Amino acid sequence: MDDREYENTDLEIDQKLIAEGAMQLTGEIKVLEAWLRELDEAEEENEEILAVRKSYNDMLRSRKEMLSTLEKQVR
């Protein structure tokens, strides 16, 4: 196997990892959005719910940023 074949194999592996990472992040984003919707429907608004909502929003923002970065890697 020459250097070009190794490079192509590396690129294929990288693309697969990026695709798997994007799928994982997309799934996590959907879960976090669902959890946030559930919190929005909660009748009670206390400090614990506010803290959880902030935490989920932070995680959501982070996952969206990671997904955006991965999508830029593909381009």
* Rounded-to-integer distance, Cα 10 and Cα 32, Å: 32
Count: domains in the chain: 1
Q: What is the pLDDT of residues 25-75, one digit of tens each?
A: 999 999 999 999 999 998 888 999 999 999 999 999 999 999 999 888 776
Q: Exposed (0-12), middle (13-18) or buried (19+): which is 37, by Cβ within 10 Å?
A: exposed
For position 11, what pLDDT does the model report?
67
For position 26, what pLDDT does the model report?
97
Is residue 59 within 8 A of residue 32, CB to CB? The reply is yes
Domain with 57, as residue range(s), is 3-74
Is residue 25 within 8 A of residue 65, CB to CB? The reply is no
